[in-house]
Structure 1
Amino acid sequence: MRTSDPKGGAGYPGAERGSHVMDDRHDPDAELPIKLEPCSNGEFLPLPITPVAAETIRRTRDEADRQARRLGLSRRTFLRSVAGAALMLTVLDRTAREAHGATGGRYNLPVDAASDADVARSFLGGDEFIFDVQVHYLNFDLAQPGELGVLGNLFPQKNCGETDPRACFAVDHLVEEMLLKSDTDMLVMSSIPIPGDANPLSIEDMETVKRLVTELCGRGRVLTQGQTFPSIGTAAEQLEAMRLLREEHKIAAWKVYTHAGGPPWWLDDHEAGVSQSGVAFLENVRELGPKIVAVHKGFGLVGGPNRGYADPIDIGPAAEANPDIKFVVYHSGYEPGETEGPYTPETATQGVNRLITSARTAGIGKDGNIYPELGSTWRSVMGDPTQAAHVLGKLLAEFGADRIVWGTDSIWYGSPQDQIAAFRAFQITPEFQERFGYPALTDDVKQQILSANAAALFGIAPPPAGCPAANDDGAGLRSNRTYGPVARRDVEATFTREHPWTVERTANPRVSTYP
């Protein structure tokens, strides 16, 4: 374990900013250790809070008051402890079962976990290696006066508490939230779909993270992706740009968006009338290496009228045609607002089932070259144990325990520690295992998802768990801040402004328009 606080007061989340100037726009006393309120990464409209989540929050506050008084702690200190996290997951489990009669997943913690930090830590803590394959930040020049602009409004990290809200996106926040205040040990810096000089997360910005983390935590903890826009320019121009990037930087994978950052396209070029750039791109990947492609599928909002091109329909055919290339499917095709249930013929074109359908049609299953990723997806379903069981169960049953990779889409949500804790505690019920053929979510399977699969994918030997820069006190601090748009109107208002991620808009009838 990484903490030793006997009361658990600092054993889970919650650190005040040290080198940052704080203001009162963020109320730490209002924070809860597990985030269930709606929040967006800017790529989807946050849904209204569910009755189960609202009731869980109400009950957690009430019970936290009682537990805090019994332990002689303030409510804030208790909620920032590992016992506070255990309490909230226990309340969520109970509330969900009361509302639905039975659930497909459980946060089945012992009763005394809410009052005994050692018991809580045995379920929610861990010393396993954690490798997050989808991490972002935004590099603003804080020395110069300026405003957040479009991106800052799309991801209003001003809620983090900085007097200059641009600082909420900065590299120091990223390192602090990811490596010092969560149990994350290694990460992949993932690009965003903005071409050219306007991109606030360039390859040079990613290299900055690598240098800083190397100084603080040692070598080998940060991998970077090479970004390319296959539908912009000619195939020859793309090849040359990729070659130059490959020569100048040590990249671990290529990152693409088929629905944003340029005219829409597909990995398999199956649709006439749109950019036929997918096959050429994959040929470039094969020629230049590394032969790993991370592609955004699901969460289509950022594509505007091209959002339909975030459908994973092209994943199976592309993977079948290119068995030597590994495809990391960011978000696994999950789409907010589409309730996740079992895979059926009637739901084969919805949410995560779209990815399963595409893979099945291409004859790709377990031990294949498709790697579903959980960034934003796990956070979206962890407050609904039944949906969470279906998402994880379907992916495990279809692709195998050695193909699912862990990602959190941070820093858009602040520290991922609550996502890690919830995942550690979560179980798929025996009833769902028997009824739907889902595998058990054992500790070994969780370890595969949290790091072993990504380590094998990228061919790396993980460095030691834990960052040496986190001293004994600092290592015990875990942040539970959640940043990002929390209401539908916030995302809509900012998305409809000038939007740099959609370079070209189409009127393709198969693609829905932004509501």
Structure 2
Amino acid sequence: MKDGMFVFDAAIHVQDFTDRQIKQGDSSGRVGILRNQLTGFIDLTARKGPPANTGFHTPPDVDWAHSTLFEKSDTDLAMACSVPLFSHWKAGLGPVELSYELCKRDPKRILLTGGVDPAYHGLDFALREMERQVKEWGAVSMKFYQYQQRGCSWRADDRDIAYPLWEKAIELGLKMVQFHKGFPLELGPVEAFQPNDIQYAAADFPELNFGIHHLGDPYVGETISIASRFENVYLVLPLWFNQYFLQPRKMLHRLGECLLYVGEDRICYGSEAFIWPHIQTYIDAWANMEMPEELQDHYGYPELTRSIKEKIFGLNFANGLGIDVAAKKVELGVAA
């Protein structure tokens, strides 16, 4: 708890960028390109913000990760998100198996977001794997990366390849599916990461929530517009917090537009640990953040009240997943 506010981190990762994970035949050098992209972005955020984990390419030690989350920060609950990118990585860039191992360390506090890719592995396999991850590993959500490589991508509004996934998610009792949008990885075309395909999916499956990560940057305006019109679209803000220290004014504008057009009930905090391990810094920053009066006066952005902070800290994401926060507090033994 942070000053009595329940903290649910929507995005932590157990990544594995090591050489042992690289598939043979990476003649294009795209693994190196991706590593350089990540390193460059990390170096940018570190200019004014908390430093990143210098060993970010290696899976973190499970005990260290648990201590970083729950002993060195005020985090109450966290979501371990897999990164199902398979084109150049044997088990995916963030293997779901490693996320599950972290979840086993403390299953009450660390929840699993699984991941599959119906274009890369085939729809039938993806559906079976979704069911296995939910029933065997207890996954409570799924996260999707919809572009693997040239000729291997898919859309969330594709009735043949995507809609069976959403039907399966509902059948399995999942309340939310999540998407990496924006921030193209390696040489993938930027338009492959647009959020536009979420619209029909959200309209056709109103009983399912759709989480969009990273505000779809560079398609921030489109992402906010979509979330403003579809009440089952949630905005998950990992990287926003990491960028805040580098570009506070820009990030406050983005947050202000989210609050102005989408409202305070579907915006969610995420730290991007363990690439950025100084989790408490982000928690403290959000707890103490203010919307400058100038931005309120000139743009109509709302004041950052305690109620807004509490919702974004964890209540919104829990609600989107169908988690009873009061019951979870009792389970975890944290203050009511």
TM-score range, shorter chain: 0.7 to 0.9
Aligned partner of 1:226 in structure 2 is: 114
Q: Give how far 1:221 is off.
A: 0.7
- Which of 253, 264, 280 is the aligned partner of 2:141? 253
State how far apart, in whole Å, the 1-side matches of 2:191 and 2:17 are. 31
- Which of 225, 237, 247 is the aligned partner of 1:374? 237
TM-aligned CA distance change 1:385 to 1:202, over 3 Å: closer
Q: CA RMSD in A?
A: 3.3
Given that 2:209 and 2:234 are in contact with CA atoms closer than 8 Å, whether structure 1 keeps it comes out as yes
Q: Give how far 1:244 is off.
A: 2.8
Aligned partner of 1:210 in structure 2 is: 103
Q: Give how far 1:197 is off.
A: 4.8
Given that 2:195 and 2:223 are in contact with CA atoms closer than 8 Å, whether structure 1 keeps it comes out as yes
Gaps of 5+ in 2: 23-30, 43-51
TM-aligned CA distance change 1:268 to 1:133, over 3 Å: same
- Which of 280, 283, 286 is the aligned partner of 1:417? 280
Aligned partner of 2:66 in structure 1 is: 175
Aligned partner of 1:430 in structure 2 is: 293
Which digits, 9 at most, give the CA deviation of each residue in 1:456-502, with x for residues without a partner? Answer: 2222244459x99xxxxxxxxxxxxxxxxxxxxxxxxxxxxxxxxxx
Q: Give how far 1:246 is off.
A: 2.7
1:318 aligns with 2:201: yes
Aligned partner of 1:137 in structure 2 is: 14
TM-aligned CA distance change 1:372 to 1:166, over 3 Å: closer
- Which of 269, 287, 290 is the aligned partner of 2:158? 269
- SS of 1:260's partner is strand
1:404 aligns with 2:267: yes
**Larger CA Rg, structure 1 vs 2:** 1
Aligned partner of 2:49 in structure 1 is: none
Which amino acid counterpart does residue 426 of structure 1 have in structure 2?
A: M
Q: Highest relative contact order (Cα 8 Å, sep 6+), 1 or 2?
A: 1
TM-aligned CA distance change 1:199 to 1:236, over 3 Å: closer
Aligned partner of 2:26 in structure 1 is: none
TM-aligned CA distance change 1:461 to 1:357, over 3 Å: closer
Once the two structures are superposed, the pairs formed by residues 41-56 of structure 1 within 5 Å of their partners are: none
TM-aligned CA distance change 1:250 to 1:161, over 3 Å: closer
State how far apart, in whole Å, the 1-side matches of 2:53 and 2:123 are. 42
- SS of 1:312's partner is coil
The alignment's TM-score, normalised by the length of structure 1, stands at: 0.53
Which amino acid counterpart does residue 157 of structure 2 have in structure 1?
A: D
State how far apart, in whole Å, the 1-side matches of 2:201 and 2:155 are. 9
Given that 1:334 and 1:377 are in contact with CA atoms closer than 8 Å, whether structure 2 keeps it comes out as no
TM-aligned CA distance change 1:201 to 1:170, over 3 Å: farther
Given that 2:15 and 2:95 are in contact with CA atoms closer than 8 Å, whether structure 1 keeps it comes out as no
State how far apart, in whole Å, the 2-side matches of 1:306 and 1:279 are. 24
Q: Give how far 1:247 is off.
A: 2.6
TM-aligned CA distance change 1:201 to 1:233, over 3 Å: closer
- SS of 1:428's partner is coil
Gaps of 5+ in 1: 2-124, 215-219, 271-275, 336-350, 469-515
The alignment's TM-score, normalised by the length of structure 2, stands at: 0.79
Matched-pair identity in %: 27
- Which of 447, 450, 456 is the aligned partner of 2:313? 450
- Which of 65, 83, 102 is the aligned partner of 1:192? 83
Greater strand proportion: 2
Number of aligned residue pairs: 307
Aligned partner of 2:25 in structure 1 is: none
State how far apart, in whole Å, the 2-side matches of 1:139 and 1:383 are. 26
Aligned partner of 2:223 in structure 1 is: 355
Which digits, 9 at most, give the CA deviation of each residue in 1:283-310, with x for residues without a partner? Answer: 33233331311111121234x2333211
Further displaced range: 250-259 or 233-242 = 233-242
State how far apart, in whole Å, the 2-side matches of 1:211 and 1:287 are. 25
TM-aligned CA distance change 1:448 to 1:197, over 3 Å: same
State how far apart, in whole Å, the 2-side matches of 1:147 and 1:296 are. 25
Given that 2:84 and 2:93 are in contact with CA atoms closer than 8 Å, whether structure 1 keeps it comes out as no
State how far apart, in whole Å, the 2-side matches of 1:320 and 1:352 are. 20
- SS of 1:332's partner is helix
State how far apart, in whole Å, the 2-side matches of 1:428 and 1:212 are. 38
